[in-house]
Structure 1
Amino acid sequence: MNFVDKYIKGDKVIWSVVLLLAILSVLAVYSSIVTLAYKYKGGDTMYYLFKHVVILVVGFGLMILAHKVNYKYYSRISQVALYLSIPLLLLTLVTGANINDASRWLVIPVINQTFQTSDLAKLALIMYLARLLSKRQDQIKDFKEAFIPIMIPVMLVCGLILPANFSTAAMLFTTSLIIMFIGRINLKYILSLIGIGVGTLMILLLIGKSNPDLLPRMGTWAKRIETFTGEGSKDANYQAEQAKIAIATGYPFGKGPGGSTQRNFLPHPYSDFIYAIILEEYGLLGGVFVIMLYLILFFRGIKIASKSEQTFGSLLAIGLSFSLVFQAMINMAVAVNLFPVTGQPLPLVSMGGTSIWFTCLAIGIILSVSKTSDSSDLKIKNTANVEI
């Protein structure tokens, strides 16, 4: 308990949710990496399990460090992070590791770990929007003084992510709109930004259709939509069909931990479709439990935002918590065939590398806001007791 009291501050419910998701992650990843292990490591599942556990432990370390920092410092950090992420996104588009016609990764020297630059850009943009909106509350309804400076980084970052990762760009754009709405930006300006975003996407699609070499991912986007709407070929619907089989065979009580059979057929069962494996092994109860954990995380984020004394802290907490839970809901919707395939991992559950670290950093920042709010409440109570 001394360790917890000394090093673990902030919302204890969020810490509990994160711990439960991490435990579930270890169980689900260990069960779903069998095919991957046989393909690349001669069946050595312990290699991937050990790597995943190390990544989670490092992530928890980053979370502890992030929540120790007073959240007000993230206002300045957001500037540096945004200015760093833009050239990194450009570098990724030009020289990034190309997988399935998508240049999303840079390779970190020495440790040889792939790094998805959009993860840094997401975190940086959300923090930067919270900073700008909090600083311009007095002119928040003004088009020139508030809307233009906020619109430019949103369009720039989302535009740089879009060519290689449509789903991430769309999710980040949506999150930005939510933050702007909560930050009291004029609704007609937000609607105009939606129009600009849709118009930009249509132009890119026309360019990609006329010259596929400039936008090679357009074919993948169209294929996924056609598959989802039932217009694609039967072979193209393979992922969704295997996910349905996993869910159906696990209903209602599941096959138990390690009992999945569809892990041998589902593409990326340890990342994109890990929720289908959870439903197969833990049944309906396990699936609902995971949804509840993310909803609790979101509601605690809202509570932290409402208790924060400063606008920056409120926007930071609500923006980051919405971004994480929104991504989780998209991943789970894909697994149950309510949404086209996006390639988004399930935060803190899917096997990953730097994506887990940035998720942990985001949660650490939310906890930093919570810690500061709790400290303020404690001071108020102590002052009240002294006065009495």
Structure 2
Amino acid sequence: MTNLLYRTKGDKVIWTIVIFLSLVSLLAVYSATGSLAYREKGGHTEYYLVKQLSVLVMGLLIIYFAHRVNYTIYSRVAQIGFLISIPLLVYTLAFGSHINDASRWIHLPIINLTFQTSDVAKLALFMYVSRQLSRSQHVIDDFRKGFLPIIIPVGVICVLIMPANMSTALLLGASCMILFFIGRVPLRFLGAMIAAGVVMIGLMFLIAKLPGMEMRAKTWSKRIDSFMNDDHTEVPYQVQQANIAIAGGGMLGKGPGNSTQRNFLPHAYSDYIYATIIEEYGLFGAFLILACYMVLLLRSIRIYRKCPYAFGAFLAVGLSITLVIQALTNMAVNVHLFPVTGVTLPLVSMGGSSVIFTSLAIGIILSVARNVEEMEGKQAERERLEKVMAAQNEAAA
């Protein structure tokens, strides 16, 4: 373990954020899974604590080994990952596990693992888009040579994710648009991308109303209507319970493990874990969690500005943007500033595959940071040697 800590490199602030959010996750998940443990595990609340601990330890190991890999290798992996993610998403739509009228998960019977294929697709897409964007900088103003090679992959993945998980598809498209803007894609192309997205959403609503697919359209419409409706009698049950939890938290909260709404709030350990944190740790805890994600974004922007190579720069800032947007969306849903979605809080919500792929994304960001750190160290060493040689030459003269 000591050797691992010694060999750990990259941005130390990001490492600190990861460890802090992991500790918050353990406390929040242990507190929020009481009712779930009572129903599913006969009251053994330690089961979910141990499970989450094992997942987080695995995630930290993934971050460590991913950050030790030279980030340029991810450019080659990106092509394979993107090509694999397409049939995975198609298979999920056709044969995936159906939960809440949506097919988002694949179950692997041999290892008894269920994972959300959109997590694979998101990570692969950002690596692939970063690769294409870096290779197209000299022709980025050309629609056919510069823009089409980066927009087509985004469109394909978003279209395949949208039928079962519209919120994830929209967030993915928004994250890619921000990355395109950073990558100097002309505004006229971004405008066309927005228009195409609006048309696609309209088509999805029409398709979802076809016989046999009405449930998804009803779900989408109900969530938007309940968010826009000022009539408090129409507010969804989970939103009501989240509001009660937030109101009860006050400035400093009720204290760790003292949440009462965790017994009534659906998915208090995943989708609505932020409301549970606010109830137990108050507004102070809420702003501290928010600050962690903001600092993560700022440190990634710092990596972006210091990285001399376009692929590494786009990779670091792109992956951080999608993680932060996901976190902000989860927080906004919890405080009723955004319609209900199934988006979790990265590294905090209870999960398996989501934590693993989030950890892999952070490991890749740290890989870029490690490369920047090593180059800065070599540059500083060269400058030191030049000063020493200059001093020696001056003394000899």
TM-score range, shorter chain: over 0.9
Which structure 2 residues correspond to residues 147-296 of structure 1 after superposition, within 5 A? Answer: 147-209=147-209, 211-214=210-213, 216-230=215-229, 234=233, 237-296=236-295
Identify the range of structure 1 (232-241 vs 276-285) with the bigger mean alpha-carbon deviation.
Answer: 232-241
Deviation at 1:194, TM superposition (A): 1.1
- Please tell me whether Structure 1 or Structure 2 has the larger radius of gyration of its CA atoms: 2
Identify the range of structure 1 (246-255 vs 357-366) with the bigger mean alpha-carbon deviation.
Answer: 246-255
Residue deviations 1:86-140 (CA, integer Å, cap 9, x gap): 0000000000000000100001232212110000100011111100010111111
Q: Show the counterpart of 1:322.
A: 321
1:260 aligned counterpart, secondary structure: coil
Q: Show the counterpart of 1:312.
A: 311
Taking the aligned partners of 1:66 and 1:346, their CA distance within structure 2 comes to 21
Taking the aligned partners of 1:342 and 1:3, their CA distance within structure 2 comes to 42
2:114 aligned counterpart, secondary structure: strand
1:343 aligned counterpart, secondary structure: coil
Residue deviations 1:343-374 (CA, integer Å, cap 9, x gap): 10000000001000000000000000000000
Compute the RMSD of aligned alpha carbons: 1.3
Residue deviations 1:212-236 (CA, integer Å, cap 9, x gap): 4246311111111111112678365
Taking the aligned partners of 1:254 and 1:221, their CA distance within structure 2 comes to 33
Taking the aligned partners of 1:99 and 1:148, their CA distance within structure 2 comes to 35
2:10 aligned counterpart, secondary structure: coil
Taking the aligned partners of 2:122 and 2:272, their CA distance within structure 1 comes to 22
Code of the residue aligned with 2:342 in structure 1: it is G
Code of the residue aligned with 1:313 in structure 2: it is G
Deviation at 1:151, TM superposition (A): 1.2
Task: Tell me the TM-score normalised to structure 1 length.
Answer: 0.97
The question of whether the paired residues in 1 share the 8 Å contact of 2:120 and 2:357 is answered with yes
Q: Show the counterpart of 2:31.
A: 31
Residue deviations 1:293-317 (CA, integer Å, cap 9, x gap): 1111110010011110101111001
* 5+ long unaligned stretches in structure 1: none
Which structure 2 residues correspond to residues 339-350 of structure 1 after superposition, within 5 A? Answer: 339-350=338-349
Taking the aligned partners of 2:28 and 2:323, their CA distance within structure 1 comes to 19
Residue deviations 1:150-180 (CA, integer Å, cap 9, x gap): 1111110000000000110000000111111
Deviation at 1:6, TM superposition (A): 3.1
Q: Show the counterpart of 1:119.
A: 119
Code of the residue aligned with 1:292 in structure 2: it is A
Taking the aligned partners of 2:127 and 2:384, their CA distance within structure 1 comes to 36
Code of the residue aligned with 2:60 in structure 1: it is F
Taking the aligned partners of 2:235 and 2:96, their CA distance within structure 1 comes to 27
Q: Show the counterpart of 1:338.
A: 337
Taking the aligned partners of 1:299 and 1:202, their CA distance within structure 2 comes to 35
Taking the aligned partners of 2:192 and 2:211, their CA distance within structure 1 comes to 29
The question of whether the paired residues in 2 share the 8 Å contact of 1:271 and 1:350 is answered with yes
Deviation at 1:5, TM superposition (A): 5.1
The question of whether the paired residues in 2 share the 8 Å contact of 1:212 and 1:218 is answered with no
Deviation at 1:206, TM superposition (A): 1.6
Q: Show the counterpart of 1:79.
A: 79
* 5+ long unaligned stretches in structure 2: 388-397
The question of whether the paired residues in 1 share the 8 Å contact of 2:227 and 2:235 is answered with no
The question of whether the paired residues in 1 share the 8 Å contact of 2:226 and 2:234 is answered with no
Number of residue pairs aligned between Structure 1 and Structure 2: 387
Deviation at 1:3, TM superposition (A): 2.8
The question of whether the paired residues in 1 share the 8 Å contact of 2:82 and 2:128 is answered with yes
Taking the aligned partners of 1:59 and 1:361, their CA distance within structure 2 comes to 8
